[in-house]
Every structure is written in C-alpha cells, then in structure tokens.
A and B are shown apart, each in its own frame.
Chain A
Amino acid sequence: MQHNHKNMNYFVDEQGYYGDFGGAYIPEMLYPNVEELRANYLKIIADPGFRAEFDQLLKDYVGRPSPLYRAGRLSERYGANIFLKREDLNHTGAHKINNTIGQILMAERLGKKRIIAETGAGQHGVATATVCALRGLECVVYMGEIDIQRQAPNVARMKMLGAKVVPATSGSKTLKDATNEAMRDWINNPVDTHYIIGSVVGPHPYPDMVARFQSVISAETKKQLLEQTGSALPDFVLACVGGGSNAIGMFYHFLDDTAVKLVAVEAAGKGVRSGYSAATTLLGQEGVLHGSRSILMQTEDGQVVEPHSVSAGLDYPGIGPQHAHLFKTGRGEYVSITDEESLQAGLLLTQMEGIIPAIESAHALAYLEKMDLKTGQSVVVCLSGRGDKDMETYMKYFGL
C-alpha cells in the first residue's frame, strides 16, 4: 500500500484526478461524508496500527499471501510461462475481500456504525457482509431485483451472515441501479453510515482508496515472481475489467515499470457491435457516472446504456477513472472477449489445471488464446475469483 513514485503520472493527483478523469461529482448531501473520508483516508492508511491490523487480517483471516502458481499445462499450450495469481483462494472466493477488510477498518476509525454496499453478482455483497459479521456492524446490501433472482446462493450467504439484502427495483434492476440505491441510502443517512464501494469507481477518494487496498495483489506478485523466476517483472500482466478493482490491484505496482505490458480484458458480451456488450472503452464516451468523470456507455443524449455480459461482475456500463486514464494514455491495452470465448476458457482451465474459474476471470484467461507469445516470455493472469457461483451458467452452456 505504500508507494513513493518518481513518476506520478498514473496515480491520483491532489485534486482527485487521473489526467482528465476522476473528481467527485456528488450532490451536496454526500459532500460531508466524502470529504470526511478524503481528509482522513491517507492518514489512516499510513497509521502503523491500521497497517498492522490490516496485514494481520489479510494473513490470518483472508489467507494471504495468495499463491502465484505456474500453470504447467497452460504454459506448454501457449509456449510461454503462464502464472496465475490465485485470488480465487481467498476467503469468500475472490479478490473483493481485500477491499472490504480495508474499508471496514477505515469505517471503524471514522466512527461509523452502519455499513451499506452495492453488489452485482453478490461477491462484493458477501465480502461486505462477511467483514460486518466479523466486526459486529449493521450491514445493508443493495442488489438489483434481477440479480437477486439470478444469484440466489449469494443472497442466502449474505442473509446468513446477518446482512439485510434490499432489492433495487429502479431502472434495469442490476448493478448500476443497486449503486444508485446505495447512494440514495447514503444521502438519507448522512451521519453514522459508511458506504463500502466494491470497485475502483465512485467519487474521489474511493478509486484511490480501493486501489491501495487491492494493490496487495501486485505487491505479492512481484515478490513471488522474483522468488520463483529471479525477475520481479513479467512481460505481460492480464486482468479482467468491469469497474476494474482486480485489474488495478494487479497493475498497481507495475504501473511505473513500463516494460511490463498491462492488458485489461473487458466483456464483449455477445459481440462488441451486437448491442449486448459491456466493452466500455470501445463503446463508451467520456462522461460522469456514480460520482466520477470517466468513460461510460451512453446515448448521444448522455443517458447511461444498459450493458450486457454473461458475467455479472463485468456487467457495468463504466470503468474506474484510473482505467480511463491508463486507456487514454496508452499505458494499458484494453481488449475484449465475448461471453462464448470466456466460457470456453473457463472449461479449458478446469480441464487442464483443475481450477474452475469465475467467468469474470475466464475473460482474462481467454485472451491468452489471442496473444502471440514467444518462448521464455512470462505472463501473469489475475485469477480474480472462483467459479462456484457460476456453476449454473456453466451447466446450462455446456449441458453438464
């Protein structure tokens, strides 16, 4: 989480911007809460007591460091060294918990008594409900009515963890609307509530705070890669992007190592031009959504467009402002993978390595098929989550 960058170009500036993107486009009702967080988050993160507690929970509760696994059969297939960063082995099954642990400790230090969150597939909702149970705080999770139907097991997990799951019934009744409802809750509860945003989106300082909590992924990767190969720097780093939290975590400590190519994989859905896609950088324009200026899928009139992806975690019409900046500056390469390609990649990993990936992470894996890798090159893929939650989709697609 600590960094002293010679080149600050890829990180947030004092005004909360990444180049042209970021800021805090929030109604006045949210200003006191967001400002309180902005004024305190760096101090809190730098506090040795906070760091010690965060590190210990990541180690003893989440199970970190997560392994960096050299996938032997995949390496053979692609003729290069393929490493998987195993975030799927974290407690609750995905990278999401890195952020919720950090934010619950932050909320406690800000004296908050009540936690709210949004969730799409339910992974962030489960990770939030988990840390609330751990610390004994009230938890309310907003989830689109349609997602509640699609993700029944995660809804049950959240309830069992003691969270109240509130259906978002407005708009398309999915992640975007759950986020709107969480923001409305925060407006109506301006004093005692902390909003745990699940991705590197939202008003400053959220994108930077979440990135710092997720940056443990790349910090560990560098160390592990050095131990295993003698070099801390791979040729490529791959991660899937919805809002983009696992990707930022995976890229973070490589951002200034410009020899490392950073590849962000978006969801093309049924095809980029099909009208059923979530490939934000290809289909979006600059605009403001959920409190920050970034790139989002929208009509000419500035109305936000409904995305589509088979993976609920990538089914979001925007990307975090730091991603928009990496895309615009060319530091990151943004590519896309269809629903079908991702499902095939999920099956391939399962049968070649014995790991069933989340369909989100399978998007990143699918891009390996499209790369022209050379012998001796190394690639790290962020395996952001496990596929248990996606079994119904896999079963339906493959007729299992």
Chain B
Amino acid sequence: MNRLEALFSKKKQNILSIYYTAGYPALNDTLRIAEELEAAGADLLEIGFPYSDPVADGPVIQGSSKIALDNGMNLKLLFEQLKDLRSRVNIPVLLMGYVNPMLQFGVENFCRACKEVGVDGCIVPDLPMAEYERHYKTLFGSYDLCNIFLITPQTSEERIRKIDSLSRGFIYLLSSSATTGKNLDVSEDTEAYFSRIQSMNLKNPLMIGFGIHDRHTFKKTAAYASGAIIGSAFVKNIGEGKPVSDFIASITGT
C-alpha cells in the first residue's frame, strides 16, 4: 500500500486534492507550494508537468503551462526539484501531464524517477487505457505507482468497470465533459450522474474534479465521493500572488 492508498483507507470523505503546475509562477516555487498546501490542510497534491499542447486544459492551466515552460521547467528539472520532497512533504503526491514529454523522458525512466523522489502515481489524460494495459501496467506496478484514469458522464458502464479493474488509488470522476477550469454549476443532471456512479459500488474510491472552484462546489461534489479536486481556481489564485493558506481556508472553512 503506498501513500495514496493509505490516505483513502484512513480518510473516507472530504479529501481535498489540489492541482498546480510545476515551475509556476516562478521556476523554483514547486516545493514551496507543496509545503504550504500540506500545512494549510490539503490531503493530496497533483503536480502538473507542463506541455506545449495541453488539449484537455482551459485557458488558466494553458497559461500556467506556458509560463512554466518559458521559466525553463521540464521533467528532468522537476525530478531534481523533487529530490527533497519526502524530507519536506508527507501527503501523497501525483504527477499530472501529457504523454509526449513522458515518452521523450522514457516511460521507465519516468517511473524510476517517481519512485526515487517519492511520487505515488500519475495522471496522464492522453495515455489511453488500452495502451496502458498493453505496455505500461506491469512497469507501473513494478515501481509501485498508481495510474489514475478519468471517467466522464459519457463513459459507458462497461468501460467504467474495466477502468475500475485497472485502477489503483482512486478514479477521477469528471463533473462534466469539459476542458479544465469551466466553472461547474451542479445541476440535477450532474447530481443524477454522480449518484449513478456512486451506486455502481466500484472497488476504487472516487474523486470528483473539473470546475470545482469554491467551498460550495467542493462540498456539493465531495458529498458524492471521497473528496474533490481543485485545479484552475487554485492556479489562478497563486498566479495573482495570493497566499496558499487563504485559498485552502476558503474551501475548507477553517
């Protein structure tokens, strides 16, 4: 059981996961933000490694990725920055990004580096399930990494079952089919969709993400899962130079 699985076995609700882009707003902010997030009460971190063509992302994360790349961020540098991760941060950490930078770095090199610095898994939206199963599942397993899959309102029940069988850690439930950062309005349809997935009794815990931007949407979505994920709203805040702790307090109400 790695740190991620340990988190879900001891905490069953209101898990707060925060996404932010490595190397943003300044190149060396990556670890500082991780520490501040843990101190402020985040349960789980998703650190984005930037890519030039992030098709699943809206304007906020596109913008942070571009600035991070302009700052000189890349995977090699990120793993150097994360060398001290485990002497400074205890909560589980995932890396999130697109498949091409990972392929150029070498998928096995990537897995090995994750293991060495204490990263617990990754989220790679454009790495398809079939490809993962065929080529990378064994590799991820041998480095004790969790690979997190997404599901959307359009994902069929059969496919959700298959994703559940391949998943470790949790399943990332998208609040709607959308790019990141579109403010969510939790409608009756959305709640019906969350209930439908909840009632499938999957073996993996669920985390809901995309469009969650304040205390209200966090509470509302987290009620249907183990917790929820906030990305663009947090990235926007740190981009404006606002304190990490204030943002987390505004979500958790502490």
Contacts and interface: CB of A to CB of B under 8 A. Distances in A.
Given A184-B179, A298-B104, A302-B101, A27 B55 contact: yes
State which size class the interface on A falls in.
20 to 34
B177 A184 contact: no
A113 to B, nearest CB: 16
A301 B104 contact: yes
Interface string A294-313: 00001011111000000000
B103 A302 contact: yes
A190 B55 contact: no
B9 to A, nearest CB: 26
B150 A28 contact: yes
A290 B54 CA distance: 10
B149 interface: yes
A286 B107 CA distance: 14
Nearest to B56: A27
Given A28-B155, A288-B99, A302 B53 contact: no
A176 interface: yes
Given A26-B126, A171-B52, A187-B56, A301 B131 contact: no
B209 to A, nearest CB: 12
Contacts, number: 107
Interface in A286-343: 286-291, 298, 300-304
Contacts of A180: 53-55
A24 B128 contact: yes
A311 to B, nearest CB: 22
A24 B62 CA distance: 22
A32 B156 CA distance: 8
Given A23-B128, A26-B126, A180-B55, A190 B100 contact: no
Contact of B155 (A25, A31, A188, A285): A31
A29 B150 contact: yes
Q: Is the interface of B mostly helix, strand, loop or mixed?
A: loop
State which size class the interface on B falls in.
35 or more
Contacts of A26: 126, 128
A173 to B, nearest CB: 12
B10 interface: no
A26 B152 CA distance: 13
A287 B103 contact: yes
B179 A301 contact: no
Given A170-B62, A184-B179, A191 B154 contact: yes
A301 B53 contact: no
A219 interface: no
Question: Which residue among A24, A26, A170 has the maximum number of chain B CB atoms within 10 Å of its CB?
Answer: A170
Interface in A179-201: 180, 183-184, 187-188, 190-191
Contacts of B178: 29, 187-188
Contacts of A187: 55-56, 177-179
Interface in A18-67: 23-29, 31-32
A303 B178 CA distance: 24
Contacts of B104: 285, 287, 298, 300-302
Contact of B126 (A15, A27, A300): A27
B125 interface: yes
Given A27-B125, A184-B55, A187-B56, A301 B74 contact: yes
Contacts of A31: 128, 154-155, 159
Nearest to B76: A301
Contacts of B150: 27-29
B79 interface: no
Contacts of A24: 128
Interface in B47-103: 51-56, 58-59, 62, 66, 69, 74-76, 98-103
Interface string B172-184: 0010011100100
B100 to A, nearest CB: 4
A327 B58 CA distance: 35
A25 B99 contact: yes
Contact of B127 (A25, A170, A300): A25
A183 B66 CA distance: 18
A31 B102 CA distance: 21
B75 A23 contact: no
Contacts of B152: 28-29, 32, 190
Interface of A: 15, 23-29, 31-32, 170-171, 176, 180, 183-184, 187-188, 190-191, 285-291, 298, 300-304
Interface of B: 51-56, 58-59, 62, 66, 69, 74-76, 98-105, 125-128, 130-131, 149-156, 159, 174, 177-179, 182
Q: Which 4 A-B pairs have the closest CB atoms?
A: A302-B104, A302-B101, A301-B74, A27-B125
25 contacts: A24-B128, A25-B99, A25-B128, A27-B150, A28-B149, A28-B151, A29-B178, A32-B155, A171-B53, A171-B66, A176-B53, A180-B53, A180-B54, A184-B179, A190-B153, A287-B100, A287-B103, A288-B98, A300-B104, A301-B74, A302-B75, A302-B105, A304-B52, A304-B53, A304-B100
